[in-house]
Amino acid sequence: MRFLKGWGELRNLGDLPVWRKLALLCCIGLWSFLGILHFSKEADIYASAPDTPVVKTKQVYPVKVNHGYLRYVTKQEAEQWEFSNSTTGPIIGVSALTMLLLLGTFRYPRSS
């Protein structure tokens, strides 16, 4: 597998040290796993929660999903969504940044 080197040159991922490959694999796994879980939860709320409050089912707590659409959920679901947003969002971002740094900062060893 290849990735860009410098200004458009391709590098071989096989040239990376083992520790970078393992760190990259862990970051990709974490990023994928949490991203899929977060997207799944957001899509579930967007598709199943009403867009107006429903007092009868206690779905009166507003949450924003899918780029600002307002949906109403129960108190427990709202707390879970806020917790998910406040924890997984930053972890997903940090793992993506770490992947970029692992690939972007690699330098071939100087040969004498």
Domain ranges of the chain: 2-104
Maximum C-alpha span of the chain: 76
53 pLDDT band, cuts 50/70/90, is very high
So what's the pLDDT on residue 32? 95
Residue 4: the pLDDT is: 60
Read off the pTM. Answer: 0.76
Give the pLDDT confidence score for residue 66 in this predicted structure.
86
Q: How confident is the model at residue 30 (pLDDT cuts 50, 70, 90)?
A: very high
What average pLDDT does the segment 65-77 reach?
93
